[in-house]
Amino acid sequence: MSQDSEDLVYINEQQPAQDQAENDFRVLVLVQKDIGKAEGSSTDISVDQSEAKGKILEGITSFTGINKFFDSFDEQIAYPNQGQLKYDVGSDGFIVIIVGSNDLKEKVLSFIDAYLAQIQKPL
CA 123, CA 116: separation in Å to the nearest integer? 14
Identify the CATH number of the domain in which residue 58 sits: 3.10.20.10
Q: What is the pLDDT of residues 51-87, one digit of tens each?
A: 788 999 999 999 899 999 999 999 999 999 999 999 9
Task: Tell me, yes or no, whether 13 lies in a domain.
Answer: no
Of 61, 41, 50, the residue nearest 119 (C-alpha): 61
Would you state the pLDDT for residue 51? 74
Structural domain of 115: 20-35+49-119
Task: Tell me, yes or no, whether 43 lies in a domain.
Answer: no
Q: What is the pLDDT of residues 73-122, one digit of tens each?
A: 999 999 999 999 999 999 889 999 999 999 999 999 999 999 999 998 77
Task: Tell me, yes or no, whether 40 lies in a domain.
Answer: no
- Which residues in 20-50 are b (16+ Cβ under 10 Å) and which e? ebeeebebebbbbeebeebeeeeeeeeeeee
H-run or E-run covering 70: helix 63-73
